[in-house]
Amino acid sequence: MARKCPLCERDGRDGELQKREYGICCKKLQFTRNGKDYESVGECNFRINYEQKSFGRKLSDGDIRTLLDGGEIKNKDATMKLNLDRDGFFTEIIWKEKNYSDFN
C-alpha cells in the first residue's frame, strides 16, 4: 500500500507519495519549464529532497520516513523535522545555540 501525501491529507486531497531521483514527493507534483526556471503546475507541491546542503548531509529514505512519521533527525549542529507550513521546503531546521562561554 502506498503512503499518503501528508500535505494532500491535511488539505483534503487524495495524493500519494512516490520516490524520484531527487527525493520523495507527491504524485500530484508537476513542473513545467519557464525559460531557465521550473515552476510548479501540479495540484500539490510536497517534496523532500535527499540533498540537504544547509543541514550538512544527504537524507536517506529512512531519514525521510522518520520525518514523515513525526520524528526528528539530528546532526551535531541542528535538528530537522517536518513542517507542512514551510511551502517549498516542508522541513524545518532548528539550530543549536552556540555556547560562547568558553571565550570569557
Residues 3-30: tens digit of each pLDDT: 999 999 999 999 999 999 999 999 999 8
pLDDT (0 to 100) of residue 34: 84
pLDDT at residue 14, rounded to an integer: 92
51-102 residue pLDDT tens: 999 999 999 999 999 999 999 999 999 999 999 998 878 999 999 886 666 5
Burial label, 89 (beta-carbon count in 10 A; 0-12, 13-18, 19+) = middle
Cα distances (angstroms) measured from residue 66 to each of 36, 80, 89, 102: 34, 10, 16, 35
pLDDT at residue 101 in the model: 62
Please list, in sequence order, all residues whose beta carbon lies within 8 angstroms of the beta carbon of residue 41, skipping any fewer than 6 positions away. 30, 31, 32
CA distance 104 to 52: 34
**pLDDT at 1 exceeding the cut of 70:** no
Q: SS3 of 15, please?
A: coil
Whole-Å CA distances, 5 to 9, 32, 37, 45, 64: 6, 21, 25, 10, 12
Q: Is the pLDDT of residue 103 over 80?
A: no
Is 104 a residue whose pLDDT tops 60? no
